[in-house]
Chain A
């Protein structure tokens, strides 16, 4: 279109305002979008510091980070899946399958670790892509596709190992799950790196924008030329890959290829994403929110252990937290407080 068109710009407002530069966004978002969660996290940390003497020790804090990493890594992909209005409940089984498969190829077959790692990650990604393709091209709801996958991968993991853990005792390999670099646990470092990568994917790539658009209105997205099927396929490839990464790190940490791993992990991951402000209806969510949600859950569980609360009660507490988080966000959007709604929408750019 040429600029010299003859449209009389009657009534148009002078110049549309765009909010300030991108630089200040992280800080602004933290407060406007995640203020409630931050406040709850601060209160939780403060309470723990005061009442649980061991909480504030460096060792404990690093352990929290390590624990958080295993779910958080998958949470980054799950955030995109949920923003697109989909769900992936197969990731716990994918972790078990990855661990079992790695045990088989690295120990039983004796493949070199780097090759085994690459192969296992490739398989995990391919499985996710296949599930995504079934979702995207056959229109099967993602809950059903990943439910089938959940069962099949669990069974596959048990078949591969006969339910017997395969010990993997190799200092170099075990360093990835248990070691630290410059004092920071390696899994946490990997989480931080992936967080940076996925933040860029979500906010600065066409793919990320397409994910938000599909979650906002898939029909309009399709009619506007957004490659809906391809994006949906790739999304499940991403969660498959990340489940593979998390599975390998946990295998390294526990020094065994174990088909019993990852039980209930899918719900821990989804909990972190939802507590972080994503909407299961799609269109809404952020990497930063998921990180904070994951941190909140990790701190809560850690504090409960330190307080000597029955470990079964942790499940009850996690359930209440999810319900509370969703209730608050629902009330907030129903209340229609303009600033709240707007800030949640700004996030999508």
Chain B
């Protein structure tokens, strides 16, 4: 394990020539201002943590720097020269590397082949042939420079996720970047492997690479970052040395001090417990326990990779916990399949509705009745009349905007597609609703309709467990918050007894350690 000091060595980067400067950049998407008057500058050898809530403009800024998105106005300079980052290839050739949180690893190829993906013959110095030994020597040298002990011949699918992440970084480094962007690099890493990655980031910075580090985990930022840039609502709020800020101040700067003020009458604690989770653990969750009552809406807050999605999927029976118990309506045992979960009264709306929620080419009506075949049968056969009745009731109740229920669900807006997913769960008559990012990619009107729907469902006695990366919206929706960090529930707060700042601070600090 590399040795990591609690605070990176104090250095003053203010005087040094900047590796990259963004000046007065703005970007507008149809109907939304993503970035306005953005100034950003980073020096060679500096590690800069980039923080901001969802929609603060982090990913737009990162994409502009990496050449993925072109700004409407503004200039970008590298070492004082104006550059035009019109494509990711050009940005890469100019010395900007981007490592996304989603890994692009080909599991059946070796570590060396992954590092030089698609450039095997150039990298091995031949025109048309690939010389494996040369490739492996170069990869070994690259990995040694990173201080990583990793066999270049190993199949990339067999190594740990941290090592896969390192392979991605080595690939970015093989282009010899002067600026390296790491987007939530530790979100998919087990706690034990995080230090490994942080040590490598420090060594890279020591070699003079400027590093933009997108993360909100306050347990790691002070260990590696020299400075912090905070964005809010598409604007640059401040850039300060990390030593001048604590988590509380960072959160205040991120939220702008706003505290959503919603008063929710929590359902009485005497109501029946519909879902009880007792000490479940697996490789991503540790010792998670909580209860969900009839008519209660409970929010799962936490950073990317904190275990929100894993917890929901485990309750739905998609992965089996190594230890612990799940009781649904008092019955012991997690469902063994989605069909069993639905039969037990549990519905699940997954995060990726296009891949997991809907059959996009099928009609709105077909999708709405997907989980309730029994409701649309008559004398053993599907009844068009019954299907129409079920579908038009859902369309009315959920305000799904569609002129013809036989239109493919693909033709609907994101918000209306999400309503179809919810309608599908509700038509199955579930009593417990598990929602993963129910408002992602949903317009504001549909968001509000979804919030209203959840409150109405709760009033009818449905229990809702909802995960969201937008903590503010959990304040709008929920009676109670479970705050997760690194697979644990670090705090449970009644919504009227906490503030947005406190909740975010708890999620970012992950204080259970």
Interface residues of A (CB under 8 A from B): 1-2, 5-13, 15-19, 22, 200, 203-206, 208-210, 212-213, 216-217, 219-227, 283-284, 341-342, 345-346, 348-349
18 contacts between A and B (CB under 8 A): A1-B426, A2-B460, A10-B449, A11-B401, A12-B401, A16-B405, A17-B403, A18-B405, A22-B384, A212-B366, A213-B370, A217-B360, A223-B348, A224-B342, A225-B341, A225-B342, A283-B359, A283-B362
Interface 0/1 of B337-374, CB less than 8 Å to A? 11101110000101000011111111111100011010
Q: How distant is the Cα of A348 from the Cα of B401 in the complex, in angstroms?
A: 21
Contacts of B392 in A (CB 8 A): 15-16, 18
Q: B454 to chain A: closest CB distance in Å?
A: 10
Q: How far is the CA of A11 from the CA of B445 in the complex (A)?
A: 9
Q: A16-B402, A223-B338, A224-B342 are in contact. List 10 more A-B contacts (CB 8 A).
A: A1-B429, A7-B397, A7-B452, A12-B401, A22-B384, A205-B381, A216-B362, A224-B424, A227-B339, A341-B408
Cβ of B391 within 8 Å of any chain A Cβ, yes or no, is yes
Complex CA gap A341/B424 in Å reads 24
Whether A204 and B381, one on each chain, are in contact in the complex, defined by CB atoms closer than 8 angstroms, is yes
Q: How far is the CA of A113 from the CA of B486 in the complex (A)?
A: 69
Cβ of B282 under 8 Å from chain A:
no
CB neighbours (8 Å) of A209 from chain B are 366, 373, 382
Whether the pair A224, B382 counts as a contact (CB closer than 8 A) is no
**Residue of A with least CB distance to B349:** A223
On whether the beta carbons of B382 and A204 are closer than 8 Å, the reply is yes
Q: How many residues of B contact A (CB 8 A)?
A: 60
- Shortest B273–chain A CB gap in Å is 21
Contacts of A341 in B (CB 8 A): 408
B260 to chain A, nearest CB (A): 21
A315–B59 alpha-carbon span in the complex (Å): 56
B363 touches A349 (CB 8 A): yes
Q: Interface majority SS on A: helix, strand, loop or mixed?
A: loop
Please pick, from A5, A205, A213, A348, the residue contacting B456 in the complex, using a CB distance under 8 A. Answer: A5
* Partner among A1, A210, A222 whose Cβ is within 8 Å of the Cβ of B460: A1
**Docked CA distance A222–B402 (Å):** 26
Question: How long is the Cα–Cα vector from A333 to B501 in the complex, in angstroms?
Answer: 50
Contacts A22-B384, A209-B366, A216-B360 given; indicate if A17 touches B404 (C-beta within 8 A).
Answer: yes
Min CB distance B488 to A, Å, is: 26
Interface pair B452/A8, CB less than 8 Å apart: yes
- Contact A224/B365 with A1-B426, A7-B452, A349-B384 known, Cβ cut-off 8 Å: no
Q: 6 smallest A-B Cβ distances: which pairs?
A: A216-B359, A12-B399, A217-B359, A225-B339, A206-B373, A225-B342
Please provide the chain B residues from 390 to 442 with a CB less than 8 Å away from any CB of chain A in the complex.
391-392, 395-408, 424, 426, 428-429
Q: Does B388 contact A (CB under 8 A)?
A: yes
Question: Which residues of chain A are near B457, meaning CB under 8 Å?
Answer: 1
Assuming the A-B contacts A19-B404, A220-B355, are A345 and B361 also in contact, with contact meaning beta carbons closer than 8 angstroms in the complex?
Answer: yes
Query: How far does the alpha carbon of A210 sit from the alpha carbon of B376 in the complex, in Å?
Result: 13
CB-CB under 8 A from A10, the residues of chain B are 399, 445, 449
Q: Does B453 contact A (CB under 8 A)?
A: yes
CA gap between A208 and B457 in the complex, in Å: 32
Which residues 432-489 of B sit at the A interface, judged by CB distance below 8 A? Answer: 445, 449, 452-453, 456-457, 459-460
Is the beta-carbon distance between B399 and A7 smaller than 8 angstroms?
yes
* Distance in angstroms between the alpha carbons of A221 and B350 in the assembled complex: 12
